Structure 1
Amino acid sequence: MKVLVSDEISEAGIEILEKKGVDVTYNTELGYEELLEEIGKYHGIILRSMTPLNEEVLAKADNLKVIARAGSGYDNIDVEAASKKGIIVLNTPGQNTISAAEQTMALMAGLSRNIYHANKALHEGVWNRSKYMGVELNQKTLGIIGLGRVGGNVAKMAQGFNMKVIANDPYIPAKRGERLGVELVEFDELLERADYITLHTPLTEETHHIIDKEAISKMKDGVRILNVARGQNVDCQALYHGVKSGKVAGAGLDVHEEEPITEDYSLLELEDKVIMAPHLGGTTVEAMDNVSIDAARQMLSVFEGDLPRTPLNIPSVDPKVMAEIKPYINLADKLGSFYSGWTGGRVEEVEVIYQGDIAKQEVEPITTAVLKGLLNPVVNEDINLVNAQMIAEERGIKVVESKSKTSNKYSNLITLKVKDKDEMTKLSGTVFHKGDLRIVDIDGYQADIIPEGILLVSDHIDKPGVVGQVGTLFGSNDVNIASMRLGRNQAGGRAIMVLTLDDEPREELKDELLKIDGIKDINVFAL
């Protein structure tokens, strides 16, 4: 595997990849045109916030399997375009949480006590205590917009300064606020009450320019604003005018609307009131190690056929839950693949029925695995857990899930009912102890099939001599039968035979099998 590291990360992650034999190219100087030329060579890319992975770039990424963002924000990645190409996108949230929270407090303290400007004056030989008089954080009200990982840590740190903390986050339950000792309030109330306002939200349509001219007009006179989240959360022109007018006493910015900033960045004029850093929130030795190691480990998981811990375009499941449902994901993939190899019909509708223990779990990734197995053999695209749902929707396949906590015979059972233009077909499978997978029902015929290897499925009439002739024909052609399973609906009626073979039979042998009296159809496929 070849991996491009296009932004600065710690050597710790690179070493992890190289120890596993991954060919790593470290090049943080690629221009846009060079990136367009180079991206097609790589199976993975690790980046931070500076590399633009837009639709144009991803269109050239013919071999890319995984994009690993060493950090949490990912607005430089077109996740939808990546999903359409089946590229897994992951990030490393939580690994730089403390660094970002500490940067917030550093900016807050530095802004309040004029540390930067006083330091600069001293270096210029000026001693002026009165000019750089500051204000205390003690007893001030801090308004946090976004009470996630970083916002929660900022709340704890601010309380250590004896600040009163309020927050606005429509996606956070009241219990989290209670645990943190934070009062959850409406957005406008936060603007009106806070002496300091700090942002810790991702960049979405809702949060783009969440601090704009109108928001600033509702704030207290003399408010101080901090942003260590995403630059476009703040309208920099509105902030410029707010500081210029005196409405905003000052601002501390780690992130900016356009990065890197240019000489015409208006806030540079306000040196006495605005302190800035070049996006250093997650840039500490510890954080850089953490995000680099996490990105590398998750990338290796993808290369090894597993799911990443924190995917952005696969249904996200708690790692503990994922460990429990992983065997069912494998089973679902096998069931879908078995159906496609066996019938190969045009799928119109898929119903996935979960019974027993598995019905208590999060099943969306399992349903996605069913679609992956169904579509991979018949669609001229690389179908995986990223794009299976999207491809199914594009092909007009209706997908239905249903659950029952009880199962008549098995502790867990997954059943597919697949409808094509002619008929409905049913398959069922289960997971035994230690992840042992079995297909246990094929369209009403009881079975006990290990879904792996080369399989031959015959549709035939239950009559003497059919099975014997099949065995003889394989023996005379030096094809070994590893296992055989038979099922029938009634004596002399329709029957199914499933063989596991050591080698795929030649086309001539398949033709000979179809000449046996009673055999209606034969399908050979690999699982």
Structure 2
Amino acid sequence: MSYKVLLLDSVDERCEEVFAERGVEVVRNQNLSGQALYDEIKSYDGIVVRSSTDVTSEVLKAAENLKVVGRAGVGVDNIDIDAATARGVLVMNTPDGNTISTAEHTCGMILALARNIPQSVQKVKSGGWDRKKYMGIEVHNKTLGIVGLGKIGSEVAKRMKEFGMTIKAYDPFASVEKAESLGIELLELDELLGQTDFLTVHTPLTEKTKNMISMANADKLKKGIRLINCARGGIYREEDLDSLIEEGYVSGIALDVYSSEPPTDELYELLNHPQVITTPHLGASTEEAQEKVAEQIAHQMVDALEQKSFKGSLNGKSISLIANKEVQPYLRLAEKLGNVAIQLAPENADEFSFEYSGTCTKFADILTDSILKGILKQQISESVNLINARHFAEERGLNIRETTASQTKTFNDLITIKLGEGSAYKQISATVFGDNDYRIVEIDGFGIELRLEGDIIMYQNVDKPGMLASVSSALADQDINIANLSLGRTKKGENAITAVSVDKHLSEEELKPILNLEGIRSLQYVSLPFNGIK
């Protein structure tokens, strides 16, 4: 059977060569949009894009024969994966193709920052000569802090270690064993900021990582720290860059990524600071990386079209199960419970046990993938999905144990996650009550019933009169409304667990009055997406 593939964006010529070598008809047209794109795309089995073309639901609807979309690179923000899945279209990317290029670019930025290379180049080219002004520092015997020990962060660590740097890192989801194997000391974030001469970030941009460094926490930085960002714009608060430098907290900043690209005029003014060096998102822009991802995506797409392999697929299992509506609620439950588990687990937790009972036991394999997706998706740079979740879990040193119960328990279908040593809670169970109704039903043997959505305060306390009233009062004093609550206890006067849903996202400052109440033994805070209803 012959196939046709359309190359929509600027992809290395190696992509065309591989398709041709494997008997696929390939057409390159980089200037299509709107109706012209809708008309052209109808007859193709596959399309290849980078970041210029948006593969929207409308594009997918027009592509009547489409079977696979290939992204020659990592980011898939320009592809509507849900719409593709609903239409049975496979979406693939090449997450490994630019690892080395981005790691090398990061190392180059570290050295350029240490030795003032861009500024001194410009000085000489403009006819100047000021050796004293551009005196730099050695990286040898300095400490490099890395936030995020995924593939790129790990490769940066290996390279800069050879320069004689001491490597320390913050990654709440990397195992101690993995860090030690790389010769890296794991620290809490605030500890890392206070001990680091150079800081580089390799994480996605999330609510937790946005503005990770700003004037708000400048006093936690080691004096004169140098900052590097080749990951995602916005991890360092761009509006504060000048102030961080001018007030002496930071000696220099190197940026390859920005919150808007190209930067806005307002941001350009900030980037013009003489101690800020910039590149136009060149992390993956090497001949080798572009050739590698072009070759990889072509092979992956042909393998998929020929039903030989689905390596690099972001939605393969979803497509295979899309017709099976029975599994869908359990997949959503599993992902939500994984999200809860990682928020309750201690940092650097490396061991989890998953138990399934009832009807859902027959889906145990893919439910584990979905739990791992919930655990990992907000914490690593790569796109996490049902296909690659186990790969990323293994890469980060997570030890996973899966069991199924032969007999049903209180509920016909139950998923339980055991959190391992060091957690305030040992295990949490949840089930499906109905459409978009997923609930926690047990925590550490206590009967707790609360929907898995929104913002939830969970605390352990002495079971005595007035505890709930005290918590309610502490919230009311801050104009925080309780949406729902559930309380479980062993027996009167002993230990109790309470879960309270509130109507807003809470800060650490807003949680302190509860934690400081007499009788509160521990407090955990969980934030989850709503199930479409708020």
Normalised to the residue count of structure 1, the TM-score between the two structures is: 0.57
- Tell me which amino acid in the other structure corresponds to 2:200: T
> Unaligned 5+ residue runs, structure 1?
317-328, 337-349, 369-384, 387-400, 405-527
State the alpha-carbon separation in 2 of the partners of residues 70 and 79 from structure 1.
15
Q: Which residue of 2 aligns with 1:322?
A: none
Q: Which residue of 1 aligns with 2:53?
A: 51
State the alpha-carbon separation in 2 of the partners of residues 122 and 81 from structure 1.
53
Q: Which residue of 2 aligns with 1:305?
A: 307
Equivalent residues of 1:6, 1:26 under 8 A apart: yes
- Tell me which amino acid in the other structure corresponds to 2:202: H
5 Å-filtered alignment, 1:336-375, equals 363-364=365-366
State the alpha-carbon separation in 2 of the partners of residues 72 and 96 from structure 1.
8
Query: SS where residue 316 of structure 2 aligns?
Result: coil
Q: Which residue of 2 aligns with 1:7?
A: 9
Task: Give the superposition deviation at 1:113.
Answer: 0.5
State the alpha-carbon separation in 1 of the partners of residues 30 and 270 from structure 2.
27
- 1:187 aligns with one of 186, 189, 198: 189
User: Max radius of gyration: which structure?
Assistant: 1
Matched, 1:166 2:155: no
Task: Give the superposition deviation at 1:297.
Answer: 0.7
5 Å-filtered alignment, 1:109-124, equals 109-124=111-126
- 1:214 aligns with one of 213, 216, 219: 216
Q: Which residue of 2 aligns with 1:175?
A: 177
- 1:255 aligns with one of 241, 252, 257: 257
State the alpha-carbon separation in 2 of the partners of residues 198 and 403 from structure 1.
45
State the alpha-carbon separation in 1 of the partners of residues 369 and 154 from structure 2.
34
- Tell me which amino acid in the other structure corresponds to 1:364: I
Q: Which residue of 1 aligns with 2:338?
A: none
Q: Which residue of 2 aligns with 1:125?
A: 127
State the alpha-carbon separation in 1 of the partners of residues 24 and 216 from structure 2.
51
5 Å-filtered alignment, 1:7-26, equals 7-26=9-28
Go from structure 1 to structure 2 and tell me whether the alpha carbon gap of 1:51 and 1:189 turns closer, same or farther (over 3 Å shift): farther
Go from structure 1 to structure 2 and tell me whether the alpha carbon gap of 1:273 and 1:82 turns closer, same or farther (over 3 Å shift): farther
Q: Which residue of 2 aligns with 1:152?
A: 154
Q: Which residue of 1 aligns with 2:281?
A: 279
Task: Give the superposition deviation at 1:63.
Answer: 3.6
State the alpha-carbon separation in 1 of the partners of residues 82 and 211 from structure 2.
22
Query: SS where residue 199 of structure 2 aligns?
Result: strand
* Aligned length, in residue pairs: 340
State the alpha-carbon separation in 1 of the partners of residues 4 and 67 from structure 2.
10
Q: Which residue of 2 aligns with 1:291?
A: 293
Which has the higher mean CA deviation after the structures are superposed, 39-48 or 141-150? Answer: 39-48
Equivalent residues of 2:271, 2:278 under 8 A apart: no
Task: Give the superposition deviation at 1:298.
Answer: 0.7
Query: SS where residue 67 of structure 1 aligns?
Result: strand
- Tell me which amino acid in the other structure corresponds to 1:294: Q
Task: Give the superposition deviation at 1:15.
Answer: 0.8
State the alpha-carbon separation in 2 of the partners of residues 212 and 66 from structure 1.
42
- Tell me which amino acid in the other structure corresponds to 1:248: V
Go from structure 1 to structure 2 and tell me whether the alpha carbon gap of 1:17 and 1:366 turns closer, same or farther (over 3 Å shift): farther
Task: Give the superposition deviation at 1:128.
Answer: 0.9
Equivalent residues of 1:73, 1:202 under 8 A apart: no
- Tell me which amino acid in the other structure corresponds to 1:299: M
Task: Give the superposition deviation at 1:8.
Answer: 2.5
Q: Which residue of 2 aligns with 1:86?
A: 88
Go from structure 1 to structure 2 and tell me whether the alpha carbon gap of 1:125 and 1:312 turns closer, same or farther (over 3 Å shift): same
State the alpha-carbon separation in 1 of the partners of residues 39 and 237 from structure 2.
34
Equivalent residues of 2:211, 2:234 under 8 A apart: yes
RMSD of the TM alignment (CA)?
A: 3.5
Normalised to the residue count of structure 2, the TM-score between the two structures is: 0.56
State the alpha-carbon separation in 1 of the partners of residues 368 and 54 from structure 2.
32
- Tell me which amino acid in the other structure corresponds to 2:134: Y
Query: SS where residue 172 of structure 1 aligns?
Result: coil
Query: SS where residue 100 of structure 1 aligns?
Result: helix
Equivalent residues of 2:239, 2:270 under 8 A apart: no
Go from structure 1 to structure 2 and tell me whether the alpha carbon gap of 1:37 and 1:203 turns closer, same or farther (over 3 Å shift): farther
- Tell me which amino acid in the other structure corresponds to 1:91: N
Task: Give the superposition deviation at 1:75.
Answer: 3.0
Go from structure 1 to structure 2 and tell me whether the alpha carbon gap of 1:353 and 1:190 turns closer, same or farther (over 3 Å shift): closer
State the alpha-carbon separation in 1 of the partners of residues 216 and 93 from structure 2.
33
5 Å-filtered alignment, 1:423-434, equals none
Go from structure 1 to structure 2 and tell me whether the alpha carbon gap of 1:303 and 1:212 turns closer, same or farther (over 3 Å shift): farther
Task: Give the superposition deviation at 1:207.
Answer: 3.3
Q: Which residue of 1 aligns with 2:427?
A: none
Query: SS where residue 53 of structure 1 aligns?
Result: coil
State the alpha-carbon separation in 2 of the partners of residues 367 and 183 from structure 1.
29
- Tell me which amino acid in the other structure corresponds to 1:13: C
Query: SS where residue 24 of structure 1 aligns?
Result: strand
State the alpha-carbon separation in 2 of the partners of residues 211 and 60 from structure 1.
44
Task: Give the superposition deviation at 1:110.
Answer: 0.7
- Tell me which amino acid in the other structure corresponds to 1:175: E
- Tell me which amino acid in the other structure corresponds to 2:169: A
Task: Give the superposition deviation at 1:310.
Answer: 2.2
State the alpha-carbon separation in 2 of the partners of residues 79 and 142 from structure 1.
37
Task: Give the superposition deviation at 1:184.
Answer: 1.1
Go from structure 1 to structure 2 and tell me whether the alpha carbon gap of 1:129 and 1:85 turns closer, same or farther (over 3 Å shift): same
State the alpha-carbon separation in 2 of the partners of residues 199 and 209 from structure 1.
12
Equivalent residues of 2:271, 2:277 under 8 A apart: no
Go from structure 1 to structure 2 and tell me whether the alpha carbon gap of 1:125 and 1:215 turns closer, same or farther (over 3 Å shift): same
Matched, 1:96 2:67: no
Query: SS where residue 265 of structure 1 aligns?
Result: helix
- 2:141 aligns with one of 139, 142, 164: 139
> Unaligned 5+ residue runs, structure 2?
328-357, 371-385, 388-402, 407-534
CA deviation profile, 1:282-334 (whole Å, cap 9, x unmatched): 12122112111111111111111244212222359xxxxxxxxxxxx99x99x
Go from structure 1 to structure 2 and tell me whether the alpha carbon gap of 1:279 and 1:7 turns closer, same or farther (over 3 Å shift): farther
- 1:106 aligns with one of 103, 108, 120: 108
Task: Give the superposition deviation at 1:80.
Answer: 2.8
